[in-house]
Amino acid sequence: MNTTYKPLFQPFVLGNGQELKNRIVMAPMTNFSSHEDGTVSDAEVNYYIRRSGGVGMVITACTYVTPSGKGFPGEFGGDSDEMIPSLRRLATAIKKQGAKAILQIFHGGRMVPPALVPNGDVVSASAIPSDQNEGVTPRPLTDSEIESIIRDFGQATRRAIEAGYDGIEIHGANGYLIQQFFSPHSNRRTDRWGGDVEGRLSFPLAIVDEVKRIVAEHATQPFMVGYRFSPEEPEEPGITMDETLILVDALADKQLDYLHVSLMDFWSVPRNGVDASQSRLAWIQERVGKRVPIIGVGSIHTADEALKALESAVELIAIGREIIIEPDWVQKIADGKESEIRTTLSKGDQDRLVVPDPLWQAIMNTPGWFPVV
Nearest to 106 by CA among 61, 48, 45, 47: 61
Q: What is the Cα–Cα distance from 296 to 317, expressed in whole angstroms? A: 5
In a domain, 357, yes or no: no
Tell me, yes or no, if 48 is annotated catalytic: no
In a domain, 370, yes or no: no
In a domain, 218, yes or no: yes
In a domain, 355, yes or no: no
Total count of domains within the chain: 1
Q: What is the Cα–Cα distance from 232 to 238, expressed in whole angstroms? A: 7
In a domain, 96, yes or no: yes
In a domain, 187, yes or no: yes
Q: What is the Cα–Cα distance from 342 to 327, expressed in whole angstroms? A: 9
| pTM to 2 decimal places | 0.98
Q: Identify the band that residue 45 occupies on the pLDDT scale cut at 50, 70 and 90.
A: very high
Using a pLDDT cut of 90, give the percent of the chain over it.
Answer: 99
- CB contact set of 167 (below 8 Å; sequence gap of 6+): 18, 100, 102, 103, 160, 223, 224, 225, 226, 257
pLDDT, tens digit, for every residue of 292-321?
999 999 999 999 999 999 999 799 999 999
Fill in the amino acid letter for 126: S
CATH code at position 228: 3.20.20.70
In a domain, 356, yes or no: no
The average confidence (pLDDT) of the chain is 97
* Percent helix / strand / coil, the chain, rounded to 5: 40, 15, 45
Q: What is the Cα–Cα distance from 306 to 302, expressed in whole angstroms? A: 6
Range of the domain at 85: 3-346
The DSSP H or E segment spanning 372 is none
Q: What is the Cα–Cα distance from 317 to 284, expressed in whole angstroms? A: 15
- CB contact set of 226 (below 8 Å; sequence gap of 6+): 59, 102, 167, 168, 169, 170, 256, 257, 258, 259, 260, 295
Of 47, 176, 227, 258, the active-site residue reads: 176
Q: What is the pLDDT of residue 314?
A: 95
Nearest to 314 by CA among 7, 5, 38, 1: 7
Residue 17 buriedness (CB in 10 A; 0-12 / 13-18 / 19+)? exposed
In a domain, 20, yes or no: yes
pLDDT, tens digit, for every residue of 96-149?
999 999 999 999 999 999 999 999 999 999 999 999 999 999 999 999 999 999
Nearest to 47 by CA among 258, 310, 357: 357
